[in-house]
A and B are shown apart, each in its own frame.
Chain A
Amino acid sequence: MSDNKSPLGQLIINRVREFYREPAVLFWVYGFPILLAVGLGIAFREQPSERVVVDVQRVERSGEVLSVLEADERFVVSECNEDECRRRLRSGKTAIVIVVSGVEDLAIEYLFDPTRPESVLARRVVDDAVQAANGRLDPVLATDVHFSEPGARYIDFLIPGIIGMNLMSGGLWGVGFVVVDMRIRKLLKRFIATPMKKSDFMIAVMVSRMLFLIPEIIIVLLFARWAFGVVVHGNLVALGAVITLGAVAFSGIGLLVASRAQKLESVSGLMNLVMLPMWLVSGIFFSYERFPDTVLPLIRALPLTSLNDALRAVVVDGAALASLGVELSILSAYAVVTFALALKWFRWT
């Protein structure tokens, strides 16, 4: 008789071994979030506001307008003859063409397409600059204050959404795909031919998923902090609790989706069916508050909505767990119900 190991511990440790021995899987789980974050970093980096491209048609006194605009760093100015200016406007190389039309008393014409937003904007900005240079006084003192404090920027909204999205897709793919693959290879059938407890197997799949998740979340959070200065305002224990509950809920959904499927194609289709609505309405990239009031209760009942709301509350607003009762209850309900149904309906052969 040998000293025997716990079956649950063995199931978990072997799932972990299989996971880290598969380089392709490692890339998709850990590399992909980094790529996503890098991509977003490029898209949302803090860049100077874009400069406006303006053409000045070469006529008498056009030099005065030219020098005014050239002195203003908001503009990229070129001086061209009439044909050249019109050609550049047609092809979109410039937003607007300025023609000096009155020489005695300086008068100018703006040539632009009113359906092009950047041309409309250019018309107003150029006009402000020209009028001010020629002595217009603004009766009201106006000062611009730029609002981009950490915590209130788009990237602060986005990062919790990305974590929520990873928890969802990781839970569904990481659990659902693995389970169906094991069913196809008859490994599930081999397991129930032993005295293994069915619940041990399911708990092992969920727990190992949780273990893979820890580095994934840490990578995203560290990258967000380093690249964008996104800080977690709430406490890390609360964040860990929300993430764990979210991961359990989506592992349960993954198990349920995979409980009957016999082919990788069918489980992929089912997972997309489950995930697509949440991708769209659960507030990953933009707030779901923009949807009509009548559908909001439905949206809030989705697990990803609850998870994203709870993550944002902790990360952005520094909320305590106690204030997240509704969201945490919804996630717990999904976890319990899906796990129970999966255990009941699960096909082992």
Chain B
Amino acid sequence: MSTIDGVEAAIRCSDLRKTYAAKPPVEALVGIDLNVRRGECFGLLGPNGAGKTTTIEILEGLLDASSGDVEILGMTWGKDDDAIRHRIGISLQETELAEKLSVRETLTLFRSFYRKGISADDAIALVSLEEKAGSWVGKLSGGQKQRLAVASALVGDPDLLFLDEPTSGLDPQSRRQLWGIIRYFRSRGRTVLLTTHYMDEAERLCDRVAIVDHGKVIALGSPRELIAGLGGEHVIEFSLDGETAEDAFTALPGVDSVVREEETFRLTVSAPHVSVPALMSKLSDAAIELTSLTTRHASLEDVFVSLTGRHLRDDADV
């Protein structure tokens, strides 16, 4: 069994590449290396089309890589497929489970595929769907369907759980419910690999995050480490009435970096209580009108922007 820093590895992959035949060929993955430890919740964070789903589906054994090595719980696809399948649970990005089967019938079916596992009713309780146990899948809300999808991944009592965009398109309450389920699973020493394009999800849920862009990992570490890598852990965002060059703010006390995006300036700072008064006095000296000002903690979104100059989501509602 291979180990990472003394901890057993749940997933290892090295130089994973995937090229889709087309004209010209599409390089979905251009060399991904990952080491996921037993017992951690690991997130693949990146914008749509970055290669997250391709990566997770190769790790799940649903897609063949063009090249590269994959090791799941010390086993390899192509050799130990059945043994791996018995020990992992998978929730795909978009599965429409049979609409005319009830929640309990669906989970009893999935349970029957595994040698060991928890009962359908226990799985229902894990995702708090007791009241819907007898309802048809077609009658469930989006959040309930997603919890059922996760329950179908948990019913085989897996050591390793793969979740592809588990909360995509869900309302805040449903997202928090799912986070609770994932945290509970991890608290029992199991491993989770999830993909997401929500930076807050990665920050709150994941022990470590790999930021993926254009088919490769561009940053890796705990959310705290990644944010600390920005220099400051706080962000001051403001916009001005009138033209000012952005280098006017680099010399302010406590400022680590300045990014300008159209009308908005974004300062990364380590001590906002020092930087904000300095900014205000500079602006009033120059008689420049401030049209908006906010301060907040730096997020993985800021990490992504500083690495790529782009937002995680095109609609950028951050």
Using a CB–CB distance below 8 Å, which chain A residues touch chain B?
Answer: 1-2, 4-7, 9-11, 14, 17-18, 21-22, 185-187, 189-196, 349
B85 engages A193 (CB within 8 Å): yes
Q: Which of A7, A11, A186, A349 contacts B94 (CB 8 A)?
A: A186
Q: How far is the CB of A260 from chain B (nearest CB, A)?
A: 17
B112 engages A10 (CB within 8 Å): yes
A5 engages B85 (CB within 8 Å): no
* Residue B120 lies at the interface, judged by CB distance under 8 Å to chain A: yes
Give every chain B residue within 8 A of A196 (Cβ-Cβ).
113
Chain B 202-230 interface 0/1 with A at a Cβ cutoff of 8 Å (1 = within): 00000000000000000000000000000
- List the 9 shortest-distance A-B pairs measured between CB atoms, nearest first: A2-B119, A185-B96, A195-B85, A21-B100, A193-B90, A10-B112, A194-B113, A7-B112, A196-B113
Give every chain A residue within 8 A of B156 (Cβ-Cβ).
194-195
Distance between Cα atoms of A194 and B60 in the complex (Å): 10
Which stretch, B103-111, B176-184, B232-240, B299-307, touches the partner chain A? B103-111
Residue of B whose beta carbon sits closest to that of A7: B112
A1 engages B116 (CB within 8 Å): yes
Give every chain A residue within 8 A of B114 (Cβ-Cβ).
4, 194-195
Give every chain B residue within 8 A of A191 (Cβ-Cβ).
113
Distance between Cα atoms of A190 and B153 in the complex (Å): 10
Task: Tell me whether A195 and B108 are in contact in the complex, defined as CB-CB below 8 angstroms, given that A17-B100, A189-B92 are known contacts.
Answer: no
Residue of A whose beta carbon sits closest to that of B94: A186
Give every chain B residue within 8 A of A6 (Cβ-Cβ).
112
Q: DSSP class of B's interface residues: helix, strand, loop or mixed?
A: loop
Q: How far is the CB of A349 from chain B (nearest CB, A)?
A: 6
Q: A5-B108, A193-B92 are in contact. List 13 more A-B contacts (CB 8 A).
A: A2-B120, A4-B117, A6-B112, A10-B109, A14-B98, A14-B101, A18-B100, A22-B100, A189-B62, A190-B90, A190-B97, A190-B152, A194-B110
Give every chain A residue within 8 A of B105 (Cβ-Cβ).
14, 17
Distance between Cα atoms of A7 and B85 in the complex (Å): 15
Give every chain B residue within 8 A of A22 (Cβ-Cβ).
100
Chain B 6-40 interface 0/1 with A at a Cβ cutoff of 8 Å (1 = within): 00000000000000000000000000000000000
Distance between Cα atoms of A198 and B110 in the complex (Å): 14
* Residue B274 lies at the interface, judged by CB distance under 8 Å to chain A: no
Residue of B whose beta carbon sits closest to that of A348: B62
* Residue B82 lies at the interface, judged by CB distance under 8 Å to chain A: yes
Give every chain A residue within 8 A of B101 (Cβ-Cβ).
14, 17-18
A189 engages B119 (CB within 8 Å): no
Give every chain A residue within 8 A of B82 (Cβ-Cβ).
195
Give every chain A residue within 8 A of B175 (Cβ-Cβ).
none
Give every chain B residue within 8 A of A17 (Cβ-Cβ).
100-101, 105
B113 engages A7 (CB within 8 Å): yes
Give every chain A residue within 8 A of B281 (Cβ-Cβ).
none
Chain B 59-78 interface 0/1 with A at a Cβ cutoff of 8 Å (1 = within): 01111000000000000000
Give every chain B residue within 8 A of A7 (Cβ-Cβ).
112-113
Q: How far is the CB of B200 from chain A (nearest CB, A)?
A: 27
B62 engages A349 (CB within 8 Å): yes
A187 engages B98 (CB within 8 Å): yes
A186 engages B100 (CB within 8 Å): no
Q: How far is the CB of B173 from chain A (nearest CB, A)?
A: 25
* Residue B278 lies at the interface, judged by CB distance under 8 Å to chain A: no
Question: Which of B63, B113, B117, B152 has the largest count of A CB atoms less than 10 A from its CB?
Answer: B113
B100 engages A193 (CB within 8 Å): no
* Residue B311 lies at the interface, judged by CB distance under 8 Å to chain A: no
A2 engages B111 (CB within 8 Å): yes
A11 engages B111 (CB within 8 Å): no
A195 engages B86 (CB within 8 Å): yes
Residue of B whose beta carbon sits closest to that of A195: B85
B112 engages A193 (CB within 8 Å): no
* Residue B288 lies at the interface, judged by CB distance under 8 Å to chain A: no
Distance between Cα atoms of A196 and B61 in the complex (Å): 14
Give every chain B residue within 8 A of A193 (Cβ-Cβ).
60-62, 85, 90, 92
Q: Which of B62, B63, B96, B122 contacts A187 (CB 8 A)?
A: B96
Q: How far is the CB of A190 from chain B (nearest CB, A)?
A: 5
Give every chain A residue within 8 A of B95 (Cβ-Cβ).
185-187, 189-190
Distance between Cα atoms of A195 and B113 in the complex (Å): 6
Distance between Cα atoms of A187 and B98 in the complex (Å): 8
Residue of B whose beta carbon sits closest to that of A19: B100
Give every chain A residue within 8 A of B62 (Cβ-Cβ).
189, 192-193, 349
B92 engages A194 (CB within 8 Å): no
Give every chain A residue within 8 A of B283 (Cβ-Cβ).
none
Distance between Cα atoms of A62 and B191 in the complex (Å): 106
Q: How far is the CB of A11 from chain B (nearest CB, A)?
A: 7
Give every chain A residue within 8 A of B92 (Cβ-Cβ).
186, 189-190, 193
Residue of B whose beta carbon sits closest to that of A190: B95
Distance between Cα atoms of A9 and B109 in the complex (Å): 9
Q: How far is the CB of A181 from chain B (nearest CB, A)?
A: 10
Give every chain B residue within 8 A of A14 (Cβ-Cβ).
98, 101, 105, 109
Distance between Cα atoms of A6 and B136 in the complex (Å): 22
* Residue B118 lies at the interface, judged by CB distance under 8 Å to chain A: yes
Q: How far is the CB of A81 from chain B (nearest CB, A)?
A: 71
B113 engages A186 (CB within 8 Å): no
Give every chain B residue within 8 A of A192 (Cβ-Cβ).
62
Q: How far is the CB of A177 from chain B (nearest CB, A)?
A: 15
Residue of B whose beta carbon sits closest to that of A22: B100
Q: How far is the CB of B297 from chain A (nearest CB, A)?
A: 37
Give every chain A residue within 8 A of B63 (Cβ-Cβ).
349
Of the A-B pairs whose beta carbons lie under 8 Å apart in the complex, a sample of 7, sorted by A's number, is A5-B112, A14-B98, A186-B92, A186-B94, A193-B90, A195-B82, A195-B115
Distance between Cα atoms of A5 and B109 in the complex (Å): 8
Residue of A whose beta carbon sits closest to that of B157: A1
Residue of B whose beta carbon sits closest to that of A21: B100
Distance between Cα atoms of A11 and B92 in the complex (Å): 20
Give every chain B residue within 8 A of A185 (Cβ-Cβ).
95-96
Give every chain B residue within 8 A of A194 (Cβ-Cβ).
85, 90, 110, 113-114, 156
